[in-house]
Amino acid sequence: MGVVMVEGTNQGRVIATPVLWAAAALGLVGAALYNWWVVAAFTHILPTPNMLFSDLEVQGGQYSRLFNSLDFTASALFLVALLLVGARGRRTEWFTMLWFTAFGMTGAIFHYSCAEALSASCRSAEWHFQLPMTHYAHMLSGIGEFGAVILVVLMARRRHGDAASMWRRFNRVQVDLLIFALPLIAATYLLDRWEAAIEPILLVVAASQLLKSLLEPETPPGAEVGISLDLLQPRQRADH
């Protein structure tokens, strides 16, 4: 039993069942590690809801090495799982999810230099670009990480169109969560209030999209959707 390549520029691979199960297992373990916030949020580890979970990963913090390791391991598992299953007719979405894993690993390597939500001086220095470059590398990695997921969710929305399927309904829930969470995460960051109550929504959407990318059946040729300025419009791109 093995992985069989199928001819054609937009056709996916026929994935052997053991390979698919292995990828799904890696994805599930990665999703569990990626969502370490569940433990932090309901224990003394999280001192206040008025902070980002990245504040717990500040260099020298009590749990920073653990959380950085969990983030890196989760992203690495996601990467291996995506490589195992391949694009399967969704090349643009697949490559974008690979970028998601790269941003995740980068954010785990470069972490916050201080907890901006817990320190007014840190927040002031952050806004005045007075902190080490590693601090801003972590911020940009987080933006890239969630930006990649949002792009994939929107591309999937266009690709599904009006088709009646479980995957379309799943995608609609993701879109609704993003519509709810994105304005709030921006507001909570600017106001420095209740960031830990909203950020988990983005983490759940990211993990669920990774699992969807692994488990969703192959997309037929010609149904792939690319990145364009009208992602909110249900338009398909034929492959030539």
Tell me phi and psi for residue 14, to 5 degrees.
-85, 115
- For residue 130, give Cα distances in angstroms to 2, 30, 141, 227: 53, 34, 18, 35
Q: What is the pLDDT of residues 82-100, one digit of tens each?
A: 999 999 999 999 999 999 9
Q: Where are the alpha helices (H) located in 43-165, listed in sequence order?
A: 64-85, 91-109, 120-127, 133-160
**pLDDT tier, 222 (very low <50, low <70, confident <90, very high otherwise):** low
Average pLDDT in the chain? 88
- For residue 125, the model assigns a pLDDT of 95
- For residue 61, the model assigns a pLDDT of 85
- For residue 187, the model assigns a pLDDT of 94
Residue with token string 């206040």 = 48
8-state DSSP, 219 = P
- For residue 230, the model assigns a pLDDT of 59
**pLDDT tier, 81 (very low <50, low <70, confident <90, very high otherwise):** very high
- For residue 228, the model assigns a pLDDT of 63
Which positions ≥6 away from 176 have C-beta within 8 Å? none
Determine the Cα–Cα distance for residues 97 and 35; give it in Å rounded to an integer.
17
**pLDDT tier, 162 (very low <50, low <70, confident <90, very high otherwise):** confident
Closest Cα partner for 133 from 112, 108, 102? 112
- For residue 11, the model assigns a pLDDT of 46
What pTM value is reported for the model? 0.86
Residue with token string 């599930």 = 28
Roughly what angle, to the nearest 10 degrees, separates helices 91-109 and 195-215?
A: 140
CA dihedral in degrees (65, 56, 117, 127; nearest 10)? 30
Contact 13, 6 (CB under 8 A): yes
**What residues pair up with 14 in beta bridges, in sequence order?**
4
Q: Which residue has the higher pLDDT, 144 or 9?
A: 144
Q: What is the pLDDT of residues 202-217, one digit of tens each?
A: 999 999 999 999 999 9
- For residue 1, the model assigns a pLDDT of 34
Determine the Cα–Cα distance for residues 16 and 206; give it in Å rounded to an integer.
26
